[in-house]
Amino acid sequence: MVHIWNDPSEVPADFGPSVVTFGNFDGVHRGHQQVLSQLIRIARLNHARAVAITFDPHPAQVHRPESAPELIMGLEDKLVALGELGLDAVLVMKYSLELASLTPEEFVADILVGSLKASHVVIGHDARFGRGNSGDLDTMQELGKKLGFEVLVISEFGSEGFPLHGDQYGDQNDGGSKDRRCSSTWVREALREGDVATAAAVLGRPHRMRGAVVHGAARGRDLGFPTANLASDSSGYIPADGIYAGWLVDQAGTRWPAAISVGSNPTFDGVSRQVEAHVIDRPEEAVEDFDLYGQSVVVEFVARLRGMVAYRGPEALVDQMRLDVVQTHNILFAR
């Protein structure tokens, strides 16, 4: 079981030695996974604990909230994803201006060495840390010699190993390169375009949102397609408007196939953007027998079926929804 600490003071005094890394880990994508899997391997070889430090809120939300990126996942899902990798512990540091004011040496000496008893620190070539991002790889190596830990440099999963190759995945800003380093930015770009398949390939799993099921306008129910509407404060990046095939995971952990709508219901002059999932393949049960209201559910996006379209009346919309359900079934249960 992974230990979750919300402050360095919660780390047991006898904890350690540990192999430590730190970062935002938004999305816990395949690049993050490669670094963390190597960290775990190193920890096992050295009979140490594998620990990741992450920050909440995202530093950009503190330093430049007006331009901070929309997060791929909420903290709860991040901790689930980190725990699934096999880490021994995750330290969630509350990010604040006070934390940001620590010098590189204070951050390393007080937290990595003082609290976590780091014997090894794993970082990337471009790592920055400490006040004004003044600490870098050279700084960490100097501190390692001074404070008695080893520094290991590991590159994230990128152009040499990532299987998404071809012109369609090239970064338009790098002269047409056919390979691209895994990044949270890439995931956000894909989701912004509704390309949940590429997002899933970079993440290593389908993109997901988490939230409470709330009452909506009940138009889907009236049309024979009842939906579970996610609350407006749900966590996770909202993909581009459209219809998607995916899964709904209820509070009990049961996975249900679902056709998912993201948008503002233009057929009915909707104004608020909503995420709603219609569970399919349940003809034997009455609508009232499947009540998800108030539950915290997860919605996973597998494939985009189409964009959001305003139809000429409910009849045309219902015809299209029937086709969406068939296509969703075929995608989710393709053999």
Q: Whose CA is closest to 257, among 160, 328, 182?
A: 328
- Split at pLDDT 50, 70, 90, the class of 168 is very low
Lowest-confidence range among 129-138, 143-152, 224-233?
224-233
Q: Output the pLDDT for position 218.
A: 57
What's CA 245's distance to the chain center, in Å?
19
Confirm if 211 and 234 have CB atoms less than 8 A apart. yes
Query: For the segment 233-262, what is each residue's pLDDT rounded down to a tens digit?
Result: 999 999 999 999 999 999 999 999 999 999
Chain position carrying tokens 């002269």: 175
- 116 vs 50: CA distance, rounded Å: 10
Q: What percent of the chain has pLDDT over 90?
A: 73
Lateral strand order in the sheet of 49-56: 3-5, 89-94, 49-56, 18-22, 118-123, 150-153
Given a cut of 50, whether residue 113 has pLDDT beyond it is yes
Burial class, 19, CB count within 10 angstroms (exposed 0-12 / middle 13-18 / buried 19+): buried
Given a cut of 50, whether residue 192 has pLDDT beyond it is yes
- Split at pLDDT 50, 70, 90, the class of 315 is confident
Confirm if 213 and 290 have CB atoms less than 8 A apart. no
- Split at pLDDT 50, 70, 90, the class of 219 is low
Q: Whose CA is closest to 26, among 155, 158, 183, 157?
A: 183
- Pairwise pLDDT comparison (273 vs 224), residue with the higher score: 273
- 294 vs 215: CA distance, rounded Å: 9
Quote the mean pLDDT of the chain.
Answer: 88
Distances in whole angstroms, Cα of residue 239 to Cα of each of 4, 55, 66, 211, 255: 29, 24, 20, 15, 20
Q: Whose CA is closest to 42, among 155, 122, 138, 158?
A: 122
Q: Output the pLDDT for position 284.
A: 55
Q: Whose CA is closest to 21, among 49, 43, 53?
A: 53
Give the mean model confidence (pLDDT) for residues 202-210: 96
Q: Output the pLDDT for position 61.
A: 95
- 1 vs 86: CA distance, rounded Å: 8
Q: Output the pLDDT for position 217.
A: 62
Three-state DSSP state, 171: strand
Strand partners, 230: 213
- Split at pLDDT 50, 70, 90, the class of 313 is low
- Split at pLDDT 50, 70, 90, the class of 78 is very high
Q: Output the pLDDT for position 169.
A: 41
Q: What is the pTM of this model?
A: 0.87
Number of H helices, E strands in the chain: 10, 12
- 57 vs 94: CA distance, rounded Å: 7
Q: For the chain, how are helix, strand and coil distributed in percent, rounded to 5?
A: 35, 25, 40
Q: Output the pLDDT for position 271.
A: 56
Lowest-confidence range among 114-118, 173-177, 180-184?
173-177
Give the mean model confidence (pLDDT) for residues 277-288: 70
For residue 65, count other CB atoms closer than 10 A to its CB.
10
The angle formed by the CA atoms of residues 9, 10 and 13, to the nearest 5 degrees, is 80
Give the mean model confidence (pLDDT) for residues 42-62: 97
Q: Output the pLDDT for position 177.
A: 41
Cα-flanking dihedrals φ and ψ of residue 129, to 5°?
-160, 160
Return the top range by mean pLDDT from 185-194, 274-283, 317-326: 185-194
Give the mean model confidence (pLDDT) for residues 94-120: 97
Residue 161 tokens read as 């190993």
- 88 vs 39: CA distance, rounded Å: 11
Give the mean model confidence (pLDDT) for residues 164-176: 40
